Structure 1
Amino acid sequence: MPTMIDLFAGCGGMTGGFVAAGFDTALAVEVNPYAAATYAANFGEDHVRPVDIATVPASEVPPVDVVVGGPPCQGFSSLGSRDLADPRNQLWREYVRVVRAAHPKVFVIENVDRFLSSPEFGLLRAEVDGGSLAGYTLTYGHLNAADYGVAQRRRRTIIIGSRIGPVALPSPTHGRGEAGGLPASLLPWADTRSRIAELPERPHTTELPKTTATYFGRTFPGVFSGLDLHLGRRPTELSLRRYDSVPPGGGRFDVPRELLPRCWRDKPTGTTDVMGRMRWDAPSLTIRTEFFKPEKGQYLHPQWDADSPDRRVNRPITHYEAALLQDFPADFRWCGTKAEIARQIGNAVPLGLARALAGQVATALA
């Protein structure tokens, strides 16, 4: 089996895709203890280091075939200030340090789409063009998770470095449109119906089970799976009235003016996806870390009938639904509080995209 290291591993989205393609993980590093516990619950505790990557000495980095990882990217995100001095923007240097120590045949970086226009990407290219990563060839571009069978439109930067010859980005397996209107090689995009339609429309609880698990000598809430994460909320009457006015594909501009908060009334343009409702027949938009707050994006459940108010589901998606839209299997195991698990889900690499990358890398290594 080809071996790999997963850096900034989170809850294991990238590892999940590579393990499915036949890779064996020799080391995973994740500083968030809750995410590290979730990773350990699914892939084993023995190779996980729940520490800051900067504290892992080069002498403890094993030689492997592949290094993968997504250095934290909030500093590049369009949602943030894009502060070039943000220390999170410098963590790619730690990634490079581990690549140098492991000397893999291939490395893979996943990041927000803006990474390709960042100064840090220019510095990374300089490391390849005669610097510490000389000998590697870079292939890079933007990939949409929906093009690889994920029921979510999530556009990400992917960089593949190789010292065994260029490794192309994987070709899409799915496309936007209906069967018959797409090339024979492509399937239609997966939609939200295919992932969450069979789940109860009205969750029976707002709380996680009162169970605990121990990893790294520490006790965590968990382990949870499946309907454990199908958690409801208690919206106010005003929130319910707002939700009820939004049809599939709609958003804050569908909410009657008298129901809008002043910040939205005074902002006639932009932020079109907030208070948005998903569509059954389309992938979701990007699942972020606060998917349980409709004011943060298009996160209302897709069920809404214009003629039958009693056939409307006026709530945000649950943790379980968000995990399924991120392409996690139904039996994936989770550790942490509700907020911590939401953060893990929103920050993860969708497994379908990870599988596509793993397949491309496995072919190059064969």
Structure 2
Amino acid sequence: MVRLACGCVGGTLHHARSLRRLRGLTRGFLDEGSFDTAGAVEKDFAAAATYAANFDPIAAHTFVGDIADYRDVPRVDLVIGGPPCQGFSALGRRDPDDVRNQLWREFVRVVRESDAQMFVFENVDRFARTPEFELLRRAAHAGGELSEFRTQVFRLNAADFGTPQKRIRTIVIGSRIGSVAEPVQTHAKVPVGALSRWRGLREAFLEGPVRLEPEVREVWLPESTVDFQGESVEGAFKLHDLHLTRQYDLTSEIRYAHIAPGQSRFHLPDELQYPCWRRHTKGAGDVLGRLEWDKPAVTMRTEFFRPEKGRFLHPQWENGGVQINRALTHAEAAVAQGFDDRHMWCGSKAAIARQIGNAVPPPLAEAVAGVVAQRLTAGDGY
């Protein structure tokens, strides 16, 4: 079994938010079957509790805090993780001085101190076009902090690996024992040969092993807490505990009822438009958008439960028939990310939403784990 340091990327000081993607990465790498966990770093308490509930039940290797304070780095074969994406995302300010953009330096430190043979660094698609990406590549050049590693960069869409969601990520794999093959695509928008068609939401919600009925009445999480490192945290919740809706006002429900699958705010009559929408007739085409049953979801964000934040309305809509006029539930968003009912969640509804929206889809992580495992088990040089 390969020793793996999961999510050694945590947060920084200055109130920067920590990485909350290590659960999906870890789930995918463990599902591949060649890896075990030896260490994890997470600044967010609820997210750390979620990690421990799934992968470290006695909290033996979960460090809760700033990665800059993480010093007891275990010796491992592989380090996986990545800094928070907010500083690089098209939705953020893209400020080059954002402290969150500097966390890759701490990731490099952990790689060096762990004596790892390989590392996997994950981030948003835009990361490959940032100055920080160039600095990371230079670190692997002669004289750099990672000069003994050969780096390879892959731009991967989670939908191509069986996730019912279009989500493109930059994956940087570093190795000092040889190069890796590109992860093998299993699905495609237009299937050819052995490739299957992209998974749609109908298959994910209604036809797969996890059945999520469109009608939802529950609003609040069950009353349940667990002890984590001497403190109480809400959870641990199963997937179906997260199949929760919100309380919408009548005007919102009327707006949602006017939007068919594939449509958005642009299709609302003038009397239902917000005043600011009437003035801005371009851009933000996904706002108040409805998903489609037989297509993957758009990229899940941390506020998927707010239809005004993107294309997050439930795909069930029939003119003159049954309509589901709400955003995705937490459970539906988790399934769209590729999680199943094995996974447990800790924290408030808002905290869990952040964890879901920032996660790496486990099917994508598993595909990356496959090529990493092949290199580690082969172990031959360049």
Aligned equivalent of 1:64: 76
Cα distance in 1 for residues equivalent to 2:218 and 2:294: 27
Q: For 2:235, what is the secondary structure of its paired residue?
A: strand
Counterpart contact for 1:140–1:169, Cα < 8 Å: no
Give the aligned partner of residue 328 of structure 1.
Answer: 339
SS at match of 1:76: coil
Instruction: Name which of structure 1's ranges 337-346 and 136-145 shifts more when overlaid on structure 2.
Output: 136-145
Q: What is the Cα deviation at residue 70 of structure 1?
A: 1.8
Tell me the TM-score normalized by structure 2: 0.92
Q: What displacement does 1:64 show?
A: 0.9
Alignment of 1:227-306 (within 5 A): 227-306=240-319
Among 203, 206, 210, which residue is 1:194 paired with?
Answer: 203
Deviations 1:155-195 (A, max 9, x none): 11111111111113312111002xxxx32221111111111
| Distance apart, 1:336 and its partner CA | 0.3
Alignment correspondent of 2:98: 86
- Pick the aligned partner of 1:96 from 100, 108, 114: 108
| Counterpart mapping for 1:343-354 below 5 A | 343-354=354-365
Map of 2:66 onto structure 1: 52
Aligned partner letter, 1:70: G
Alignment of 1:213-232 (within 5 A): 213-232=226-245
Question: Percent identity among equivalent residues?
Answer: 50
Asked if structure 2 preserves the Cα contact closer than 8 Å seen for 1:249 and 1:276, the reply is: yes
Note if 1:203 corresponds to 2:216.
Answer: yes
Q: 2:222 aligns to what SS in structure 1? A: coil
Unaligned runs of 5+ in 1: none
1:335 aligned counterpart, secondary structure: coil
Counterpart residue identity of residue 240, structure 2: L
Q: CA deviation at 1:357?
A: 0.6
**Which residue in 2 is equivalent to 1:3?**
3
**Contact persistence 1:192–1:281 (CA under 8 A):** yes
Q: Does the 8 A contact of 1:189 with 1:282 survive in 2?
A: yes
Query: How many residue pairs align between the two structures?
Result: 358
TM-score (norm 1): 0.96
Distance in 2, matches of 1:166 and 1:238, equals 56
Give the drift of 1:205: 1.1
Q: Does the CA contact (< 8 Å) of 1:151 and 1:191 recur in 2?
A: yes
Q: 1:29 aligns with which of 27, 41, 44?
A: 41
Gaps of 5+ in 2: 10-18, 378-382
Structure-1 residue corresponding to 2:16: none
How far the C-alpha of 1:133 sits from its partner, in A, is 0.4
| CA-to-aligned-CA distance 1:41-99 (integer Å, 9 cap, x gap) | 11112111111110012xx1111111100211101110011000000000000000000
> Could you tell me how far apart the structure 2 residues matched to 1:62 and 1:161 are?
18
Task: Kindly provide the CA deviation profile for residues 250-280 of structure 1, in whole angstroms up to 9, marking residues without a partner as x.
Answer: 1111111110111211111110011011100
